[in-house]
Amino acid sequence: MFETNYDVVIIGAGPAGLAAAIETKKVGTQKVLLVERDHTLGGILQQCIHPGFGLHLFDEELTGPEYAYRFIEQIKPLGIDVLLNTMVLDIDRDDNRIYAVNRDKGVCNIGYKSLVLAMGCRERTRGAIAIPGTRPAGIFTAGTAQRYINMQGYMVGKEFVILGSGDIGMIMARRLTLEGAKVKAVVEIMPYLAGLTRNKVQCLDDFDIPLYLRHTIIDIKGKDRVEKVTVSKVDDNFNPIKGTEWDIDCDTVLLSVGLIPENEL
């Protein structure tokens, strides 16, 4: 078993973890370790290839990977240690140690004086919001689709309906359109937009993608692959209003219905 000790261990090397590592080191902490499950630093920023990052901090418009790089390039000169491809499986709070696994080192047993959890978020799923219907292929959370397209180089469908007007959903609407897909609707249950107005203008309006506020998907149909969804208007209590529903033919549904803190540990 690989055993080592640090003053501060940070789990997750996304924007929060990177910033935490840099600041911890800058204020004089001796030994700082970043533990990241993916093969690269930067976390979800690496799949956010759209611009719009860095306006506040760097006064210029950067893509996600560019923005991440501004932090990543500080890690080595500052002498921060990094473990990539490493999944933390357990925290032993009595002995202040974490247990992680890694292909090269096997089980890593790492002592800490302070531990920072910067594991980011998971996306809310279809199950979490209980959309009725069949269970065909072609239902993705927006971030998962983003990974397939931007990291792995594959398209996930041809005709889309997006549920939820969160920023990832709207940004994906534009991205899918640029990849040649047809986004037929963005459907939002609330009477207002969930994400930034900037994203509605740049990602929906500029591409003539219709946004339906106070609407939701009440049924998903399809045997092997999604064939259509039923969309309905909702009342003030978010219950579907009978008689307002209509079908939209599509082969893919993207869900952009919120993020939940990653707290498996």
User: Which residues of the chain form contacts with other proteins (CB under 8 A)?
Assistant: 1, 37, 85, 87, 89, 99, 101-107, 109, 122-123, 125-128, 130, 132-137, 141, 143-144, 147-149, 151-158, 179-180, 218-219, 221, 223-225, 251, 264
Collapse the DSSP code of 208 into the 3-class scheme (helix H, G, I; strand E, B; otherwise coil) and give the result: coil
For other proteins, the closer of residues 59 and 94 by Cβ is 94
For other proteins, the closer of residues 57 and 137 by Cβ is 137
| Least distance between other proteins and beta carbon 54 (Å) | 25
For other proteins, the closer of residues 133 and 195 by Cβ is 133
| Least distance between other proteins and beta carbon 149 (Å) | 6
| Least distance between other proteins and beta carbon 76 (Å) | 24
| Least distance between other proteins and beta carbon 220 (Å) | 8
14's CB contacts (< 8 A; 6+ apart) are 42, 43, 44, 45, 118, 120
For other proteins, the closer of residues 54 and 111 by Cβ is 111
Q: Which is it for strands 139-141 and 252-255: parallel, antiparallel or unpaired?
A: parallel
Concatenated DSSP letters for 157-207?
-SEEEEE---HHHHHHHHHHHHTT-EEEEEE-SSSS-SS-HHHIIIIIGGG
| Least distance between other proteins and beta carbon 38 (Å) | 10
For other proteins, the closer of residues 138 and 195 by Cβ is 138
141's CB contacts (< 8 A; 6+ apart) are 123, 124, 125, 254, 255, 256
